[in-house]
Every structure is written in structure tokens, then in C-alpha cells.
Amino acid sequence: MQTLTIIQPDDFHLHVRDGDALQSVVPYTAKQMGRALIMPNLKPPITTVAQALAYKRQIQAAIPAGCAFEPLMCLYLTDKTTPEMVREAKAAGIVAFKLYPAGATTNSDSGVTNLFNLLPVLEEMAKQGILFLTHGEVTDADVDIFDREAVFIDKIMKPILNQLPNLKVVFEHITTAEAAKLVCESGDNVAATVTPQHLMYNRNHLLVGGVRPHFYCLPIIKRESHRQALIRAVMGEKSHKFFLGTDSAPHPKHAKENACGCAGMFSAMTAIELYAQIFEQAGALDKLEAFASQNGARFYGLPENTRKMTLIKQAQKIPESVQFGESEVVPMCAGEEINWSIQSVA
């Protein structure tokens, strides 16, 4: 039976919520990943070093015995963030600040209203070597939801990159050909994370035959031509600029299957197996290790993980749902068989 051994991967974009829900989902990631970058959009958001360190301790308490897993912390960028807060974050080991344009996604009400007002903060981030992570969408009411990322590139991303050429930027969970092109054509200070859902699905999966709420995420899944562009980018000539970031974002089943269902797909349960299937189907399984285990570590200035993971070509069936605090969450590919399983991490 076919096996594949790679350096233990990292997840550079992960949501684990808090409380009992956190206790339910952290073990899935801890058993797979060496590290994960934890998103700060809780209620209230993680905006200070003290909050981030307390949140890190909560996550560490949920790590199963025997797992060599490290949560990496970032802070939520707001209109009130200052250069002094950037310096404090650097001293405390915070690795990044995350931009949520106000109203762009789950728990983004405290997000930035005008990024250009924060240029002194971004300049200090460049000086300190702290990364700038961006949810790259505009939220203007007159912009079609499928065009938000492309408009963000022209109105915000390109001007920021022109003004701050030394700022290290991760364009998070990219979804479009325009975003892939921007990353490929930018300098070595610009990289991107790519989710399994945006590599596997197009908007037909969300909309054909009725609205399927468990395929609803933000940024929203785009047309097939964009999915194909992402596949080419993560496996192409500039593939070193792209790395694993699941954007795994669990929500209770009842909150997804709702008249106003929330955005997010829960992939942490079988994240690396999903990526293995994607890369195999594209005929690029040999590129999985760089994408999952090397490119992100290099961009963040981190050493590669010392453990190895062995995957085996053995089908596994994803459960219809799993426990999520006092509720349940529907995982990505629920009820389906996927082609790969983890054999060992050691």
C-alpha cells in the first residue's frame, strides 16, 4: 500500500473558538500539526498581549498528552492599535497582527474601518519583523460579494505594498486568480495561505440543487476558473510563496443550518489528508511537503518541525458530525470517503 512520509506540517490559519468548544477541536489539530497560527476573532477579540497569552494557555491546556504542538498567537488589528502595541507584541513573542475589515466575516465588527489610517502601525510592524495577515476583502455595500477580493487588491493591497515594500504580508485564504497573480508577481515579502475548500470546491457546490450551508464560508467559494488558478499557483513555478492554512472554522450544526447560517468550514479533523487528496488528484503529491511543512515555516522565520508524519493510501469515512462543546459540528466532507489516512507522527 502506498505511503508518503513528510516533515510534520503546520497550519498557519486556524480557528479553535473558546470554552468547551475549544476543548473539543484543539486535539484534532494537535494530533496532526506541529504548530498552528490561532486566529484572534473571538468575542471580545484578542487585541492585547495579555489576552493572547491567556488564550494560548487555554489552548495548551487542551493539547492531548504526547502531542508536540505549539500554538502561535496573533493579535486582532483595530482602529485603536498603536505602534507601541506592536513593539509590546514583538517582545512577547506574538508573531503577527490580523486585519479583519469591519463586517467582512465572523466576529469582525471590531475590525478596521480605514487601513490607511494605520500606516504608522504597519510601518512599525515592518520595522519589528511582525507579519501582517490580511483578510483581503472590501465590505462596500455596492461591491458584489464574489468581487470583494479582487476589489480589495486594487483599492487596498496594491497601494499598501507600494508604500511599505518591507512589510511581510500574508494574503490569507486566497480565493481568486487575481490574488494568486498578485502573490506570484510581488516580492519575497508577500505570501499566501490556501484552504482545502478553495482548492476542492467551486460555487456550484454551494448553490446547485439548493443552498448547502456547510459549504458556506468567507471569503465565499468562487467559480471553477478561480479554483483552477489556485491549483496552478500552489503547484507552479512560484509555489514556494503558498502554504497550508486551513481556515478551519467550526460552528455548531444548528448555527449553520439556520435561516441566517454562519460562515465557516471545519476541516481540522482531516486537514492533511484532504490536502494529500488534492495534491494527488493534481498529479503533484511530491509538492505536498513543501506546501504543508516548509514554505510557511520559512516565511515566518521558524525552523522546520523535527517530527515526521507518514500518510497511507487508505480510505477513511468522515463522520456526519462530531462533538463540539455541548453541540455538534459537521466536518468538511461529512459522510464521504477520502483516500488518505495518517499512519504515524513520530
The binding site for Zn(2+) consists of 13, 15, 98, 135, 173, 247
What residue numbers does the annotated binding site cover? Answer: 13, 15-17, 41, 98, 135, 173, 218, 247, 251, 263
How remote is the C-alpha of 124 from its chain's centroid?
Answer: 24
CA-CA distance, 275 to 4, in Å (whole number)?
13
Provide the grid cell at 145: 460579494
List the alpha helices (DSSP H) in the chain: 19-30, 49-60, 83-91, 119-128, 148-152, 158-163, 177-185, 196-200, 203-207, 224-235, 253-256, 271-281, 288-289, 295-300
CA-CA distance, 166 to 162, in Å (whole number)?
10
43 backbone dihedrals φ, ψ, rounded to 5°: -120, 110
What residue numbers does the annotated binding site for substrate cover? Answer: 15-17, 41, 135, 218, 251, 263
Please confirm whether the linkage preceding 165 is cis (ω < 30° from 0).
no
Is 247 a residue of the active site?
yes
Q: Among residues 11, 188, 247, 286, which one is catalytic?
A: 247
* Count of Cβ atoms closer than 10 Å to residue 62 Cβ: 17
Catalytic site residues? Answer: 247
